[in-house]
Amino acid sequence: AQTVTQSQPEMSVQEAETVTLSCTYDTSESDYYLFWYKQPPSRQMILVIRQEAYKQQNATENRFSVNFQKAAKSFSLKISDSQLGDAAMYFCAYRSAVLGRDDKIIFGKGTRLHILP
């Protein structure tokens, strides 16, 4: 069974600085998707960024980028120029891309990110 581990329950970063959130996962599959979701105090789950396992290039969305290390099964999220609105719980998530498998997402326990003004 696949698992997703976020080893940092909480992190803090100064506004305008850069922070990296860690995520590791375990799977025997070769084809899958990885996601970072953000859950602000409103509790809405917001997709931040996604990565296809077959792509070597790291995904980037504005100030958010990932460092995807497939061999190491590592998928970290880097937030540049941190803003107060980035304060939230961040979830790393895994989804199989194998046809015929169910489509559920497996989430890590989350990392709560605090932005210090």
Partner 1 sequence: DSGVTQTPKHLITATGQRVTLRCSPRSGDLSVYWYQQSLDQGLQFLIQYYNGEERAKGNILERFSAQQFPDLHSELNLSSLELGDSALYFCASSVDDAYTDTQYFGPGTRLTVL
Binding segment for partner 1 (CB under 8 A), chosen from 22-30, 31-39, 69-77, 79-87, is 31-39
Give the separation between CA 75 and CA 78, rounded to whole angstroms: 10
Strands (E), 8-73: 10-14, 19-21, 24-26, 32-39, 46-52, 60-61, 64-69
Minimum CB–partner distance for residue 75 and partner 1 (Å): 15
Minimum CB–partner distance for residue 23 and partner 1 (Å): 14
Asked if 33 interacts with partner 1 (CB under 8 A), we say yes
Give the separation between CA 55 and CA 94, rounded to whole angstroms: 15
For residues 43 to 62, the per-residue mask of contacts with partner 1, x marking binding by CB under 8 A and - elsewhere, is: xxxxx--x------------
